[in-house]
Amino acid sequence: MVGKREEEDMAIIVSGRGMALVILVLSYILFYIFMYLGRKGREIPVRTLPPMAAIPEGIGRAAEMGRPVMFTPGIAGDLNDPTQGPQVLAAISILGYIARECARTGVKLDVFMPIPTALPLTEETLRTAYMAEGKPEEFSPDMIHFIAGQSPYLTAVLGYFQRERPATNFLIGGFYYESVVMGEGGNTIGAFQIGGTANTHQMPFLVATCDYVLLAEELYAAGASISKDPDILGCLRGEDIMKFILIALMIIGFILGFARNPALINVLRW
């Protein structure tokens, strides 16, 4: 009979992470299956995200008013931060779309990037976007303003609001307290604002100060709304199924909890 100590010595999975691995693998299998089906032509309906539909409207407003558009991804974390990094990457994905719209309509775009590791990626994204629209000469690295440190960054953005009075602000990414200050600062100059974050503690501020907001997974799925890309749509369908599985687990856990049965808890702690 194998003792507990020997069992631990033979283990290859870190204790307590087994079920997380199962959920991860299951999610990836589902994502892959639906991505494959999407590429094969299976229709995956997805609702249009109002904030993404409002991006051309915001840029059109800036074109009519002859004022610039401002984009910033917040300063909550670096690219190698496990929770904030993906938000910044998703924000840069959306920036690519915004930059193409700005290039198409000839609107000046100002990007406030406080994250040094994301600077080269931002520059590359803007350059590619302007090239894709056939206007590489309109791209300039001066469009990207690097400000290190939360307070200096915030002060610089507020000063920019007062001097340049942008018609539209995009506050999309990982935010800390700068979200409410910039959101309100933008409101005082009458800017049209689109926000987005997956940081739960900042969502209420963006909801209160912005005209449209991308909340939680919408930030990562924004691309699907624009392009109906089968890869993103497939992932969305996979996410939906995983959510149903989690809801089922919650209901089972709720019932077992009433019966004082720890079976599910033990399985989840594996």
Site for other proteins in 98-127 (CB under 8 A): 99-100, 116-117, 119-121, 124-127
By CB under 8 A, residue 93 contacts other proteins: yes
Does residue 198 touch other proteins according to CB under 8 A? yes
Report if residue 265 touches other proteins, rule: CB under 8 A: no
Window 216 to 235, contacts with other proteins (CB under 8 A): 216-221, 223-224, 226-232, 235
Identify the residue among 61, 108, 138, 239 touching other proteins (CB under 8 A).
239
User: Least CB distance from residue 40 to other proteins, whole Å?
Assistant: 15
Contact status: 205 vs other proteins (CB under 8 A): yes
Least spacing, CB of residue 216 vs other proteins, in Å: 4
Which residue in 47, 200, 258, 260 binds other proteins (CB under 8 A)?
Answer: 200
Q: Is 119 left (phi over 0), alpha (psi -120 to 50) or beta?
A: alpha
Q: Assess 261 for contact with other proteins (CB under 8 A).
A: no
Determine which residue in the list 94, 109, 157, 194 makes contact with other proteins, applying CB under 8 A.
94
Q: How many CB atoms lie within 10 A of CB 148?
A: 10
Residue 110 forms beta bridges with which residues? 70
∠35-90-186 over CA atoms, to 5°? 140
The span from the CA of 208 to the CA of 184, in Å, is 9
Cβ neighbors of 254 (< 8 A, separation 6 or more) are none
CA distance 173 to 182: 13
Task: Provide the 3-class DSSP secondary structure of residue 1.
Answer: coil
Q: Among 243, 244, 252, 265, which residue sits at the site for other proteins (rule: CB under 8 A)? A: 243
Using rule CB under 8 A, residue 257 touches other proteins: no
Region binding other proteins by CB under 8 A among candidate stretches 53-61, 104-112, 151-159, 255-263: 151-159
How far is Cα 198 from Cα 202, in angstroms, rounded to an integer? 8
Task: Enumerate residues 33-62 that contact other proteins by CB under 8 A.
Answer: 35
Q: What is the token pair recorded at 234?
A: 């497939």
Neighbours of 216 (CB within 10 A): 13
